[in-house]
Amino acid sequence: MKLNTLFFLTVVGRCFAAQYSIDKSCNSNEHAGFRDGIVAGWQEALDLINNAFDVMTNHAGDEKVQAMCRYLFGNADFDNKFNQARATLGNIRVFARDPSPFEPQDDRWKATRSNADVEVYCDAVRIVPEEGTKYHWDTAREQRFWADMTPKLQACHDPRNTNHLTMATTWKSDLFDMGRYFKAKRAARAIGGTAAAAAVDRALFTTLRPTHVNTMDLCFWFLKLMADRNWPKIDSEQVELAKTPEFINALTGAKLPVDGLQTMSGLFVHEMTHTNQGGSLVDQTENDIPGAGRQCYGWRCCGLLQDVRNSDTIHMLAVALKIWSLKHWVNADGQIIPL
């Protein structure tokens, strides 16, 4: 996309802010104090997004900005990928900073919502059995929900859950023919391998619904972790902490120092890209990266994947450019280094 077109779309988009509404489940007794942390995390996410957009607009030629962007995007087709990533940031920066005064069940919310908007949930009670079928029914998105997914969603919200893998899940408002989509991917893979499967366009199997919203489930364990850590932000204090041996030695698995900067804001940047407003980015499942697993998260994997349609690539980009604004940069090993 040409930069002048991108600028026009971004300016127009900001006149029509996408809204979000927080369900009452995020203010239950078990979630006491979480709602304020959710709102603050959402607002910081917008700060990260705006900062990244501004850095890419005004400091694209900076040596370290270039180095971090080229690490995440690769050198091949770099300018196009740079513009695509910036366009994604431009799309999600139009989300409203404050939640709607109305909860998702309120008719006043339903009267004005669109498929650019988001409803945030902290339980799964909206998913109910559909009698006589193998499906459940999502009362928020008003569409069928695979019954075998319901226990996984319930586990996300269960305070007793110790399987700390999924932090959040975003569900698009559109109707998506998953069966035909995966059949097409299998056929493409058989002919052209991983790259062909990755190129199958989800839009061909999607029906848009303009008055239905995206929904976002925030898992209890991650909310509790953020609350226990006093809702950390990506600021100078956290950047200095991430450079210490104590912080680095405490990292688990294959995490790099930059991956250890876990915040609600970073999670929201990632999840916003999954929405219609964010361009329906995905957790890319088609890759040949050794040890990457089914999906690509974190600095190392994003740098190897070099795909701006991968949601965590945009998340890591926003984090890295915030670190640059704090007079540091992130090298290929995920280390945070002073400028």
Residue 47: pLDDT band (50, 70, 90) is very high
Sorted by where each starts, the structural domains of the chain and their CATH numbers stand as: 3-174+209-338 (3.40.390.10)
240's enclosing H/E stretch is helix 236-242
> Quick check: 127 and 150 in contact, CB under 8 A?
yes
Q: What is the largest CA-CA distance in the chain?
A: 62
- HSE-CB for 106 with a 13 A CA cutoff: 15
Max mean pLDDT range (5-14, 69-78, 247-256): 69-78
> Quick check: 44 and 233 in contact, CB under 8 A?
yes
> Quick check: 292 and 304 in contact, CB under 8 A?
yes
C-alpha to C-alpha distances, 207 to 202, 211, 216, 270, nearest whole angstrom: 10, 12, 19, 23
Per-residue tokens: 182 = 């995966």
Per-residue tokens: 132 = 């006589």
Query: How does the average pLDDT of the chain come out, rounded?
Result: 90
Q: Could you report the per-residue pLDDT of 159-191, keeping only the tens digit for each?
A: 998 878 899 999 988 877 777 888 998 999 999
Per-residue tokens: 225 = 């972790």
Summarize the confidence of residues 97-103 as an average pLDDT: 97
Residue 11: pLDDT band (50, 70, 90) is very low
> Quick check: 239 and 326 in contact, CB under 8 A?
yes
- Output DSSP code: residue 180: H
DSSP 239-303: HHHHTSHHHHHT--TT--GGGG---HHHHHHHHHHHSTTTT--B-------TT--SS--HHHHHH
Q: How high is the pLDDT of residue 201? A: 85
b/e map 118-148, b = 16+ CB within 10 Å: bbbbbbbebbeeeeeeebbbbebbebebeee
Q: Could you report the per-residue pLDDT of 245-266, keeping only the tens digit for each?
A: 999 999 988 899 999 999 999 9
Summarize the confidence of residues 113-134 as an average pLDDT: 92
Q: Could you report the per-residue pLDDT of 215-237, keeping only the tens digit for each?
A: 999 999 999 999 999 999 999 99
Summarize the confidence of residues 42-48 as an average pLDDT: 99
Per-residue tokens: 183 = 């059949």
Residue 208: pLDDT band (50, 70, 90) is confident
At residue 321, the 3 state secondary structure works out as: helix
